[in-house]
Each structure stands twice: as structure tokens, then as C-alpha cells.
Structure 1
Amino acid sequence: MNNFNAQTIMPTKKMTKIRWFYIAFPLLLLFTVSMMDKANINILLANKPFLQDLGIDGNLVKGTLSSIFLVTYAFGQLAWGFIIDKIGAQRSGLIGISLWAFAMVLGGIADSISMILWSRALLGIGEGVLYPMALKLTSNWFPYNEQAKAQTTWYSGNAFGPVLGLPLIAIIASAYGWRESYFILAAISIVCLILFWIMARDNPAKHYAVNQTEFNYIQSNQKVEVTITGNKGSIKTVLISPLFWILTIVYSCFSIGYYGISTFLPSYLTEEKGIDFVNSAVINAGGFALAIVVQMVTGYFSDRFMKRAVFVGGAGALIIVFMLLSLFTTNSTVAAILSILLIGLLFMPAALTMTMLHRVASPEVMGSISGIFGCLSYLIAALGPMIVGIFSQMSGSYNGGFIAILCFIALSLFLSVFLVRKGF
């Protein structure tokens, strides 16, 4: 940002809001489409033609398909974090989006489990660019008092994606075939690639539409009053901070919960609650629609009261309650309602935990730090689907797997209480 060229700035006095339309909006689109791409496998795992064509049988195999994505997603974030700090967020994003669009094409032409595994692995590498890129752009473009609203805005794409994608994928797979769902998602990803190339820039100093007033506003409000880790511009200083590791564990536990539950929820509703294939997708979409509302409301109030950990801990407690009630109800309607409430809360803690990460790392190292943060978190999150798969097979029902997952949510709840006491 120090290379700011005043000649590129529109001389109007009224502040532009480029940061919201040109940065938050394309990020929202990217997260929406990326979630549709990654969630494609979740709904197809309840699609009999897909399972029969590829010879997929057993929950352990299903969990592996989800976990292989999370492993490459984790290492992708680590690599992309350092790449982004070196070549910039926009250029890195263009490369990553291209990779994941190709991965969807590969999935559409797959004729074996191994090809689907390769597709999922490449998708993880490509989509690994998203969080380091988004956090870097958020650090560069948004003052601290707007960062929760900004992050919950683009993070809501993770809920918009399933709302739009799950019914769409189910309808396309039922009417035309599962391969067509891959090809359509690949085309949508390419459209998003073009929009991101046109709209986004690494920082306000490089953008063609931002004016001097907005630039000054962003610059003057990026300093945080309370410095948590001293020299936040040093990677080493951040990594030796206990608070960084607590945030990593909290995020990891919620990620285990999200991926462990969301991977099997359509199959769980279909197999154990007697809800048909398309309706299970609609229920999941309803939960993600609720998640959008929850995200935006908590983003607004957490910026207003600056108490992000309170909302994170509260979500953890409610997730445990709703999951337990869902497991032990025999009424399919009640199970559907509880599933919607559960999904509505599963998303929110992650965005606010990432917002708290801005208090321990500066914009200069945010790409690298978020890459490390994401790599560690998603390597741990990769255990989620496998834990559900293993424990559900051992217990003979999904109950065993989901109860095992709740232990991690309980740990995140405990650590959230500690963060509240530290002023987060």
C-alpha cells in the first residue's frame, strides 16, 4: 500500500465503497461456487447411479473421498499462503481457480474411484488458495472494525453454495446424470474466474475505481488498538503465541464437526430417517439458508460489541444440543427441523474465529499465517469424515460417528470460554 499512486484515484470527496462491491462481492461468488464444487460429492454419495457406476460401497470409502480433498486442501493452503505473500492475492487466485475448474472436468469424465480421488485431490489444491487469498484481501482492504462483517459476507458463500447447489445437483443428477453436474459446475467456475480477474486487485493502491477518501479511510482505521502478540509483522512471533494455537484448535474442532456431519447428513437423513433423496438435499439447503442469516447477524453484532468468542462458544453449545436431539428422535419431521438448525449454526464459528486471527497477525504476513493456520486446521478436519465413517461402521449406525464428532465440538466450547476471558 505504500506505493499508492494518487493519479489513479478518483478525485471525488464522497467516499467510494469499492471494498464491498469489487472485493467482498467477488469473494462471496468464489466461496459460493467453490462450496458447490466441493459439496457436489456429498449429495452424489446418496445418488445410486453414481455409486453403482464407480463401484462405491461402504461409509469408509465415502469418508475417504471427502478426506482426500481435505488433506490436499490443507497442504494447498500452506503453499498458497506463502505464494500469495510473494506474487499477490489476485494472481494466485487466478491460478487456483483455473486448477479447480479443471478438477471438476476431470470428475465429470471419471470412470473409476481412483479418477474421482484424483479429481478431489486436485480440487483441494486449487481451492486451497481461497482462505489465504480472502484473508489477505480482507487485511489489505478492510479496517479492523469492519473485518467481521467483511469476512462473514464472503464466508456466507459457504452457505449460499449448498443453498443453490444441493437442490441443483440433486435435480441435475436425477434428470440428466451425475456427470452433467460436474460439467455445469466447471462452467460456472470459469465464469467466476473471469469476474475475479476483472474486479479484484491486491490492495486499494492498485485499484482503478477507489478514490482518495476511501483509501484514507482504510489506511487510518487498520491499526488495532490492542496489540495481542507484540510484533504482528513477524511470522515467528505469531507462531510462538499461544493464542494463535488456541485459535487454530478451535477452528480445527469446528471444521471436524462441519465436515464430519455435512458429509454424511444427506445419507443419514435418507437411510435412518426415511427421507427421500431430493428432500434430503432440500433440507440441507434450508439449513444453509439459515446459516446465511446467522452469519450476517453475528458478523454485525460481533463487530459492534467486539466479543467474537462469545458467539463462537454459544454456537458450540447449541450444536451439541441440536445434534443429540436429532440422533435420538424417531420423528422424521423433527429430525429435518433439527438438521436445519444444526447446519445453520455449524458455519458461524469458523468465520468469527478467522476474524480473531487478525488480532495476532498483520496484513504483511497474513497470507503466510493464514496458510499455516488453514493447513493445520484442515489436516485435522480431514479426520472428521473418517471418524464418522469408522465409528458408524463399528456401532452399526450413524449415532456412534456423530457422537464422536461432538467431543471435538465440546473441546472448542471449552477453549472459547478461555478466549472470552482474554478479551476476544
Structure 2
Amino acid sequence: MPIFTRSDSTMQKANVLHEENMTKATNARWIYISLPLMLLFTVSMIDKSNINILFAERQFLQDLAISDNVIKGTLSSVFLITYALGQFFWGFVVDRIGAFKSGMIGIAIWGIAMIIGGVATSVTALLWSRALLGVGEGVLYPIALTLTAKWFPQQEQGKAQSFWFTGNAIGPVIGIPAIALIAASFGWRESYFALAIISFICLAIFIFMIRNKPSEHYATNAAEVNYIEKGQGVKKTANIDTGSVKSVLTSPLFWILTTVYACVSIGFFGFSTFLPSYLTEAKGIDFVNSAMINAAGYALAIIVQLVCGYLSDRWMKRAAFVAVASVIIIGCFVGFLYTTNTTVVILLTIILLSVLYMPAPITMTMLHEVASSQVMGRISGTFGCVSYLVAAAGPMVVGFFSTTTGSFTGGFMALISFIVLSLLLCVYLMKKGY
């Protein structure tokens, strides 16, 4: 029987450690987490914007007796309200039962909502469809932020969130023409049913690919799990108990980040809602070309987000990126308001649309330095709920000031004040090392 000495045992342990270090880490987090999350945000963006495209479809308006803008506004607003409140509700659910189970329930709900929309014969039924869609899609940010916190080390969270957030830009690029084509060729109800089928396909993909933690996933190895765990942790917020919901919610830093996100969201929703009307009425650009300008802006937004996500991880100066974006947004706003050159207007509009998207994922990345993965569901739910309730005021702000002053300039200048506030808060965050 062989006899092992102390040195033999030490050498065996060293060999085991050497083999573990030599094992190449898998990249399951990028394939099985980022990709399906991006797909979910892409489809969700198409689902929520489906009705905005159908507002221009005559048969849709006739079938449901939609005759004025008050009804259209109500159908849009009810979604934003339930979407915001849904994020708060789902935040608690995600922390309780996990992102995997929460995601399955939420995606199923929004698939059912699209079916209800497809069979609707009245505005009331359509209102229920929109409200249920908001509740279902409200699960997205709590599960996405929770999964990012658990699946990605701190030095990759900017890239990861920018990657899945691009779904919000990809959605309009492919969704606007696709929905219009389906509605024109087959009917508006068929556009709802098609999106319902796609939503349930997303549910199947989610079930197959997503797991709550790296250690639970069939595609990860020990090297990847170890790499992720070593890169996690909060570095800049030693004065905050990041694992306590109460501590995070009473932290000024959380509310600064929430305010920044709300300000850039007000700018986005306020601008994007009135952009087609502004280009057509104030700048003399026809409807078709204005749609092309929108598509170009969203396409460029994909590139801007990915590049900035990568660089923010490389330099770890996330607040600086949001500050620079705020400066560009303000400059573009002022520029196209006071120029009469159509080419300049088009270029500034495309740049503005692309940059308006970028601050959101970068701001959410800073949220990981305030809250741990154990409470991220509740924290992100509160963060999203407050931000989107405030952001819902964006279109109303533009509408009110535009009506009061008699031009779009007054409404857009009101939006600029929120972006200025975002800039000032980001300068403060930069001084704090964020």
C-alpha cells in the first residue's frame, strides 16, 4: 500500500489548483443571459409600441370607435402607469422567488395581454390589454438588473447592461415597418396575434436559457463561476449597507441616481413623442422622411450604447459618460431649434436620438454600486417605478408649454431644464468618484 508524505499531499493540491487555473472559463453569461435579455427588450419594445403604429391605421380606429386624441392618450398613459407600478410590485417578487420564476410569469402575462388586444371589440377591452401589458412587462427591469448583478463582475456590468438595453433601440428599427406591413397585408388583429406568438416563443427561450445564478446553470464551469464571484462586490459605498433595502432607500446616492434616470427619461419620452410632429410641422420634413430619420437615430443608438458600455467598464467613470451625454443632448436640442438648414436638422436629430438612449443603462450600472444582488429586485423596482411615473410627465410637459407658448420651442426648452439638472447631478457624482 503506497504511503503518501506531507510533500506528496501538497503537490497533489497544487496540481489540482493548477488544473483549475488552466481550465478556460466558459462565457455562458454572454450567451445565456445577455442574448435572451436583449431579445426580451426588443420584443417588449415592439409590443408596447404596436398601438402607436395602429393609431394611424384607419380600420383599427373604426373597429374600436377611437375618434379623438383623448382616447389615444389614455391608451398610452394607462400602460405607462401600470408599467411603473408593475416594476415596484415585481421588485419584491423577484427578491422573493427569483428572476427565473418571476420572468416566466411576467412574460406569460404580456403574451396573454397581446391576445386580449387582438380579440378586443371595444376601447374598454383594449384598455385592459394595455394595463395588463404594463403589469407583465414591468418584470423586465427587476429581472434584468438582478441577473446582471448575479451573473457579471463589476468590470463587465456596463457592457452587459448596454448590450441588453440595445433591445429598446432594435425594437423600433425592426418593429415599426414589420407591424405596419402585417397590419396592411393581413389586418390589425393579426399584428397582435403575431406579437403574442413571438412573446410565447420568448418565454420558451427564457425557460431554456435563463437560471438565477451561475452556479445553477448547466452551461457554466467552475472557472467562470469563480471569475464572476471574484469580480463582484461594491467598492465605493462603504457608508451604505448595500444588503439592506432600508439603508439603500435612505441613501441620498440612490435618490440622486433615480433623479438622473428620471430626468433623461423625461427628455426621451417628451422628445420622441413629439418628434414626428415637430419635423413635419416646424421643419417641413414629410412623414416618410421623418420615419427614416427616427429609424436612423435608433440604429445609431445601438452603436453608441455598445461603445459607451465598453468604455465605461474600461475607465470605470460612469457618471462622466452621462454628463457628456447630457451636454450633447442640450447642444443638439438648442441647435435644431434655432437652425433652418434641413440637413443640419436631420443630423442633429439623429445624434440626439442616439445619445438620448445612452444615459439609461450607464445610470442603472451605477445602481449596482448602491445595492447588492440580494436586494436588487426591490431596489430596481422602486428605482424604475419612481423614474417612469415621473417620466410619464415628459409628453405632458411638452404639450403644456408648446400650447402655452404657441410653438414646440417652449416645450423642448422645458425639457432642456431637466437635462441640465441631470448634468449638474452627474458632476456631483463625478466628484464622488463615480
Fold equivalence (TM over 0.5)? yes
Partner in structure 1 of residue 46 of structure 2: 36
Q: Which has the higher contact order (CA 8 A, sep 6+)?
A: 1
Partner in structure 2 of residue 184 of structure 1: 194
- Name the SS of the counterpart of 2:248 in structure 1: helix
Report if the CA contact (8 A) 1:167-1:278 is conserved: no
CA distance in 2, matches of 1:276, 1:367: 44
Larger mean CA deviation between 365-374 and 325-334 belongs to 325-334
Task: Specify which of 378, 382, 388 is matched with residue 372 of structure 1.
Answer: 382
Shift of 1:328: 3.8
Q: Which runs of 5+ in 1 are unaligned?
A: 1-9
CA distance in 1, matches of 2:271, 2:238: 34
CA distance in 2, matches of 1:415, 1:373: 16
Partner in structure 2 of residue 168 of structure 1: 178
Partner in structure 2 of residue 6 of structure 1: none
| Equivalent residues in 2 for 1:93-108, closer than 5 Å | 93-108=103-118
Report the CA distance shift for 1:33/1:409 in structure 2 as closer, same or farther (over 3 A). same
Shift of 1:422: 1.0
Partner in structure 2 of residue 4 of structure 1: none
Larger mean CA deviation between 212-221 and 43-52 belongs to 43-52
Larger Rg: 2
CA distance in 2, matches of 1:399, 1:109: 41
The CA RMSD over aligned residues, in Å, is: 2.3
Partner in structure 1 of residue 325 of structure 2: 315
Partner in structure 2 of residue 415 of structure 1: 425
The residue type equivalent to 1:392 in the other structure is S
Partner in structure 2 of residue 303 of structure 1: 313
Task: Specify which of 242, 264, 286 is matched with residue 252 of structure 2.
Answer: 242
CA distance in 1, matches of 2:400, 2:324: 29
Partner in structure 1 of residue 415 of structure 2: 405
Q: Is the counterpart of residue 144 in structure 1 residue 168 in structure 2?
A: no
Partner in structure 1 of residue 13 of structure 2: none
Partner in structure 1 of residue 139 of structure 2: 129
- Name the SS of the counterpart of 1:363 in structure 2: coil
CA distance in 2, matches of 1:58, 1:386: 17
The residue type equivalent to 1:356 in the other structure is M
Report the CA distance shift for 1:42/1:283 in structure 2 as closer, same or farther (over 3 A). farther
Shift of 1:330: 4.3
Q: Is the counterpart of residue 361 in structure 1 residue 361 in structure 2?
A: no
Larger mean CA deviation between 243-252 and 327-336 belongs to 327-336
Task: Specify which of 200, 203, 207 is matched with residue 193 of structure 1.
Answer: 203
- Name the SS of the counterpart of 1:405 in structure 2: helix
- Name the SS of the counterpart of 1:148 in structure 2: helix
Map Cα deviations across residues 16-65 of structure 1 (whole Å, 9 max, x no partner). 00001000110010011111112223333444554555454665554443
CA distance in 2, matches of 1:180, 1:12: 53
Map Cα deviations across residues 180-229 of structure 1 (whole Å, 9 max, x no partner). 33222222111111101100000012111110110111111112333344
Task: Specify which of 272, 280, 284 is matched with residue 262 of structure 1.
Answer: 272
Task: Specify which of 72, 78, 85 is matched with residue 75 of structure 1.
Answer: 85
Partner in structure 2 of residue 233 of structure 1: 243
Aligned pair count reads 415
- Name the SS of the counterpart of 1:181 in structure 2: helix
Map Cα deviations across residues 57-104 of structure 1 (whole Å, 9 max, x no partner). 665554443322111111100110110011110110011111111222
Q: Which runs of 5+ in 2 are unaligned?
A: 1-19
CA distance in 2, matches of 1:41, 1:371: 25
Report if the CA contact (8 A) 2:326-2:420 is conserved: yes
Map Cα deviations across residues 378-402 of structure 1 (whole Å, 9 max, x no partner). 1111111222333334444443333
Report the CA distance shift for 1:49/1:333 in structure 2 as closer, same or farther (over 3 A). farther
Report if the CA contact (8 A) 1:259-1:385 is conserved: yes
CA distance in 2, matches of 1:261, 1:61: 21
CA distance in 1, matches of 2:59, 2:278: 18
Larger mean CA deviation between 219-228 and 336-345 belongs to 219-228
| Equivalent residues in 2 for 1:102-121, closer than 5 Å | 102-121=112-131
Report if the CA contact (8 A) 2:233-2:372 is conserved: no
The residue type equivalent to 2:360 in the other structure is A
Partner in structure 2 of residue 17 of structure 1: 27
CA distance in 2, matches of 1:331, 1:36: 33
Report if the CA contact (8 A) 1:12-1:211 is conserved: no
The residue type equivalent to 1:349 in the other structure is P
Report if the CA contact (8 A) 1:55-1:113 is conserved: yes
- TM-score, normalization: structure 1? 0.91
Larger mean CA deviation between 131-140 and 406-415 belongs to 406-415
Shift of 1:406: 2.2
- Name the SS of the counterpart of 1:338 in structure 2: helix
The residue type equivalent to 1:97 in the other structure is I
